[in-house]
Chains A and B, each alone.
Chain A
Amino acid sequence: MGDARPQYPVEMPAALDLKSLYEKEADTVFAFLTRFGLRPVEAEDAVHDTFVAALGRARSFDASRPARPWLLGIALRVAVARTRHGRTREELGEVPDSPDPGQDPERALVARRAERLAQQALEQLPEEQRSVFVLHDLQDLPMADIATAMDAPLATTYSRLRLARLAFTRGVEQLRQAGGRL
């Protein structure tokens, strides 16, 4: 769509088509925000904010590179701004997605519990570690892209991933022990 482009008076990346970007990437952004720890309604608001902010950051968009890391870098900042304002992290209530409804109820319950546990352990991680961890281990973003998105050196980014993996595994273990009876 939009083939007959007029002349642009600028050095603008004319390729930033917000709508097709949204269509392609909204789910990924939503998934990131959810795993980062925002509740569904908040994650929706944050998706909105991310795309509006993306429009404002259009000049930093490089059409010759994948859009996802750029966009997730924005989503990351939106998410952090939201959690810093203390508007999230209320009760760890419903988990966003229930497992396959075709499963038998018992297994579904076990899966649901495991999911809740993992999500909770995730949300205990410090923001920076959590970001790298979610982006890399759940969303398969290359480390170099994450480093760019977070405006951090690559070594630091690796270090955060390492710490996050250790802390996450430890956290799951602790939660299992503490919450075994729940």
Chain B
Amino acid sequence: MNFDENEPMPPRPVELQALPPVRMGAGQKAMLWSRVEASAAVAAAATEAVAQSGGAEHQMSAERLATSAGAAPSLVAKAGLNSAVVKWGLAALVTGVAAGAAVDRYGFPPEPTVVERVVVRTQEVRVEVPLPAPPTAPPTPAARTALQKSEPKEQRPVQKEPAVEAAGTNLERQLLEGARTALVRRDANFALETLDKLRREFPRGQLAEERDSLQVQALQQAKREADAKAAARTFLERYPHSVFGPAVEAVLQGEK
């Protein structure tokens, strides 16, 4: 060991004895586990969507999504409850793939990110997830909008459990919420990334209208004025009577 011997190591300070051991209460520990479990389930649902659309090439920040879900358990509890069974083992795929996000957030040393498929554990976990929201707009055949930046990869057939499928609809809502909260905390890049993901995973999603309105706001927040306005015009043409119209028009107001 090459520790400099000229500088002796002082002893462990006695004052540390004043610090008693810290432990969580049993109830606190159990509650916290249920939050962790719920977040793991959200990540798993996101993973499922990634797996459906081709896997590792997507840089999906499920960990961030899961973290925000965990920070706000009400998100899971809010909309009337339905049970879905997901495999949170799969969560490692998305979160592992999202190593890029982890680096940003916690300064982890970089790791190779090419993963074909990863399973941590396949024990089934039962979690509560909100019921799918009712459709707010008819499916739009021309949902691949001018906003779209990257072409989706071919869809890979995946054998799914019905419950996971239900979680898929739910995932659309959760991704949308993820994008919305990202906008609130002014993380426009993450919002755009999430919206991009949404378009790829759910090209004919039930929440396309809302998603496209968020896209306009996200572009504006990212200071991509021209893109924002172009997106706003496309939106107003496509959804002339949208309840999100005023918010989108506000973006165009800055045009004068």
Contact = CB atoms under 8 A, between A and B. Distances in A.
Interface of A: 1-2, 5-6, 8-10, 12-14, 16-19, 22-23, 26-27, 30-31, 34-35, 44-45, 47-49, 51-53, 55-60, 74, 77-78, 80-81, 96-97, 99, 111, 114-115, 117-119, 121-122, 137-138, 151, 154-155, 158-159, 161-162, 165-166, 168-169, 172
21 contacts: A1-B123, A8-B119, A14-B120, A18-B40, A18-B121, A19-B33, A26-B33, A31-B22, A35-B19, A48-B35, A48-B71, A55-B91, A56-B62, A58-B95, A58-B120, A114-B15, A117-B18, A122-B19, A155-B1, A168-B16, A172-B15
Given A159-B4, A165-B11, 13 more contacts: A10-B119, A27-B22, A30-B24, A35-B19, A48-B35, A52-B39, A78-B106, A81-B105, A81-B106, A115-B19, A118-B15, A137-B12, A169-B10
Contacts of A45: 71
B15 A168 contact: yes
B130 interface: no
B77 interface: no
A1 B124 CA distance: 12
A154 B146 CA distance: 54
A56 B102 contact: yes
Interface of B: 1-4, 7, 9-13, 15-16, 18-24, 28-29, 32-33, 35-37, 39-40, 43, 62-63, 66-67, 70-71, 88, 91-92, 95-96, 98-99, 102, 105-109, 111, 115-123
Contact of A17 (B63, B92, B121): B121
A59 B12 contact: no
Contact of B121 (A14, A31, A52, A168): A14
Contacts of A57: 95-96, 102, 108
A96 B23 CA distance: 9
A56 B70 contact: no
A175 to B, nearest CB: 10
Contacts of B35: 48
A34 B22 contact: yes
Nearest to B121: A17
B24 A27 contact: yes
Contacts, number: 186
Contacts of A154: 1, 3
A151 B120 contact: no
Contacts of B2: 155
Contacts of A8: 119
A166 B15 CA distance: 12
A88 to B, nearest CB: 15
B95 to A, nearest CB: 3
Contacts of A53: 63, 67, 95, 102, 106
Contacts of B37: 19
A169 to B, nearest CB: 5
B106 A138 contact: no
Nearest to A26: B29
